[in-house]
C-alpha cells in the first residue's frame, strides 16, 4: 500500500514538473500537504523547509521529519520534533503512539496494549493491538514456565490464576502442583532426618498419599510419641511443657489424649503461673498463724521473680514480729507435698523491694492480726515495719518502716515485722487450682 502511495506521489510530481510554469508559495504549500498526505515525508519536508516562515510551513517541516523518524523507528528524534510543535496536527497522538511502541520494545506488553487500544485506528495502532493480544499470553506462559523451572511456585501460581482457562494454563498448573509437592516432600524429609518430628508431621500430613508420605507420617508420629514419653518422665517443667504440646499434636495416636490430660492436670497450672509471672500473680503456699488465736492458716504470696523454673514468692502481709536473728529462718508450716519440694525462706533484699516498688508508699505492708498481737511496730493504718536481708551498722538491721522508707532498726528489737520471701521450684511442686488473681490464687 505504501509503495502504491509513493508511486502516485512521484507521478503527480512528474506532471507538475512538466507544466514548467512558475508556482506561488501557496501552491508549493498545498503541494507539500499533498506529498504529506501520500506519506512521502521526505519530499514534503523538503518543500516545507523551502517555504521557510510561510504560514505554518516550519511546523509542517518538523512534523514531516518526525513522521519520517517514526517510520525508521527513531523514537527519540521523532519525540523531540513532536514536542516542539505539540499540539500541531496529530502530534499528541503520535507521542502516545511512540510511548506505546517503546513499552512494547521494553517488554511491557500489557501497558503497550493499553496504549495502542487507546489510539483506536490511528496509524497501525489497531493492528499492533491485535498482535499484542496474541503475543501477551504466549509471553506470559513462557515467563511462568521459567518461574516453575526455577522453583518459584508461589509467583507462578499467582500469575496462572490471572490467566484465562486454556490447555497451556492447565498444563502449567499441573507442573506447579507437582513442583510444590516435591519441594514440600524434600523439606519434610530434611525434618524427618533431623528427627524434628513435630515439624515434619504437618508437612507429611499435607502431602497425603504423595510418594511414601503416609508411611513417613506414621513413623514421625511414633518418633514423637517416644520423645513425648521421655519428656513426660523427666520431671521438669520445661520437659512437661514440651511433652504436653507433643501429646496434643498427636491427638488420637495411641493413648496420646489420655497422656495429655494427665500432664495437664499435673502441670497446666504451673505453666500458667510461669506464663503470667510478669504480672506477679497470687499464690497460696504453706501455713502460718494469721489470726489472733494463733491457728495456722494458708499464706498468700505474690510471685515476684522467675528464673528458670524457680519462682520467688513475697508474702502479701507482715506475718510476725521477731528479733533479727530469729527472722532469717522463718518457721512456716508445710504440707507433706509442700515440704517435699524443699522450699527455702529468707528475707527480701533491699534491691528486690526497690525494684518491685519504686515508690516508697507502695513498699508499705499491712500486718496480720497475729503479728499485731505479737507487738509488731505499726502505724494506725496497719502498715508495719519489716526486715530486709541486709545488715545495717553494728547491732542494726535494714528495714522498711511503716511509711515505706528504708532505714535501719535495732537488731535485738523484737517488735520489727517479718515479711518473708520463699523460693520454690515449679518442677518440684505442682499448683493445680486457681487463676492467679487475689480472689482465686494459684494453690
Number of H helices, E strands in the chain: 18, 10
Mean predicted lDDT score pLDDT of the chain: 91
Whole-angstrom distance, CA of residue 373 vs CA of residue 332 = 18
Tens of pLDDT, residues 205-250: 999 999 999 999 999 999 999 999 999 999 899 999 999 999 999 9
Sites in the chain below the pLDDT cut of 50: 1-21
pLDDT tens track for 109-137: 889 999 999 999 999 999 999 998 887 77
Measured distance CA(417)–CA(409) in Å, rounded: 11
User: Is this structure's pTM higher than 0.85?
Assistant: no
CA distance 23 to 357: 107
Cα–Cα distance measured from residue 81 to residue 272, given in angstroms and rounded to the nearest whole number: 77
- Per-residue buried b or exposed e for 405-437, using 16+ beta carbons within 10 Å of the residue's own CB: eeebbebebebbbbbbbbebbbbbbbbeebebe
Q: What are phi and psi of 396, to 5 degrees?
A: -125, 160
pLDDT at 213: 96
Alpha-carbon gap, residue 43 to 259, rounded angstroms? 96
Residue 283 backbone dihedrals phi, psi, to 5 degrees: -140, 140
3-state secondary structure string, 377-414?
Answer: CECCCCEECEEEEEECCCCEEEEECCCCCEEEEECCCC
Q: Cβ distance 346 to 421 under 8 Å? A: yes
Residue 167 CA: distances (Å) to CA of 152, 162, 170, 173, 300: 21, 15, 5, 10, 73
Cα separation of 302 and 233, whole Å? Answer: 29
Amino acid at each position: 500500500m505504501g509503495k502504491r502511495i509513493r508511486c502516485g506521489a512521484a507521478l503527480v510530481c512528474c506532471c507538475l514538473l512538466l507544466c514548467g510554469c512558475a508556482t506561488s508559495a501557496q501552491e508549493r504549500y498545498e503541494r507539500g500537504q499533498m506529498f504529506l498526505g501520500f506519506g512521502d515525508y521526505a519530499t514534503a519536508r523538503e518543500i516545507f523547509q523551502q517555504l521557510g516562515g510561510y504560514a505554518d510551513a516550519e511546523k509542517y517541516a518538523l512534523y514531516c521529519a518526525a513522521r519520517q523518524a517514526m517510520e525508521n523507528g527513531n523514537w527519540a528524534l521523532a519525540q523531540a520534533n513532536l514536542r516542539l510543535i505539540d499540539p500541531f496536527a496529530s502530534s499528541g497522538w503520535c507521542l502516545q503512539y511512540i510511548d506505546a511502541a517503546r513499552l512494547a520494545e521494553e517488554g511491557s506488553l500489557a501497558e503497550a496494549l493499553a496504549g495502542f487500544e487507546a489510539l483506536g485506528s490511528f496509524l497501525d495502532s489497531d493492528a499492533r493491538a491485535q498482535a499484542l493480544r496474541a503475543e501477551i499470553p504466549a509471553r506470559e506462559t513462557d515467563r511462568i514456565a521459567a518461574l516453575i523451572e526455577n522453583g518459584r511456585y508461589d509467583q507462578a501460581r499467582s500469575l496462572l490464576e490471572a490467566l484465562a482457562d486454556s490447555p497451556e494454563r492447565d498444563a502449567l498448573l499441573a507442573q506447579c502442583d507437582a513442583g510444590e509437592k516435591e519441594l514440600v516432600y524434600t523439606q519434610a524429609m530434611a525434618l524427618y532426618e533431623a528427627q524434628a518430628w513435630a515439624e515434619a508431621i504437618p508437612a507429611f500430613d499435607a502431602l497425603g498419599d504423595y510418594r511414601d508420605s503416609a508411611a513417613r507420617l506414621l513413623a514421625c508420629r511414633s518418633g514423637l510419641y517416644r520423645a513425648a514419653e521421655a519428656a513426660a518422665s523427666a520431671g521438669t517443667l520445661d520437659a512437661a511443657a514440651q511433652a504436653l504440646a507433643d501429646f496434643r499434636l498427636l491427638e488420637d495416636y495411641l493413648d496420646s489424649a489420655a497422656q495429655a490430660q494427665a500432664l495437664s492436670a499435673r502441670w497446666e497450672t504451673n505453666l500458667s503461673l510461669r506464663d503470667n509471672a510478669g504480672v506477679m500473680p497470687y499464690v497460696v503456699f504453706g501455713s502460718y498463724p494469721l489470726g489472733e488465736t494463733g491457728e495456722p492458716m494458708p499464706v498468700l504470696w505474690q510471685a515476684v521473680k522467675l528464673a528458670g523454673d524457680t519462682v520467688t514468692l513475697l508474702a502479701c502481709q507482715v506475718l510476725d514480729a521477731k528479733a533479727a536473728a530469729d527472722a532469717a529462718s522463718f518457721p512456716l508450716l508445710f504440707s507433706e507435698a509442700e515440704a517435699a519440694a524443699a522450699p527455702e525462706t529468707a528475707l527480701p533484699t533491699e534491691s528486690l523491694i526497690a525494684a518491685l516498688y519504686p515508690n516508697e508508699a507502695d513498699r508499705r505492708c499491712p500486718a496480720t492480726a497475729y503479728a499485731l498481737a505479737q507487738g509488731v511496730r505499726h502505724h494506725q493504718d496497719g502498715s508495719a515495719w519489716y526486715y530486709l536481708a541486709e545488715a545495717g551498722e553494728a547491732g542494726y538491721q535494714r528495714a522498711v518502716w511503716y511509711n515505706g522508707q528504708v532505714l535501719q532498726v535495732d537488731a535485738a528489737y523484737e517488735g520489727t515485722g517479718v515479711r518473708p520471701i520463699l523460693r520454690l521450684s515449679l518442677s518440684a511442686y505442682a499448683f493445680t487450682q486457681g487463676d492467679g488473681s487475689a480472689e482465686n490464687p494459684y494453690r
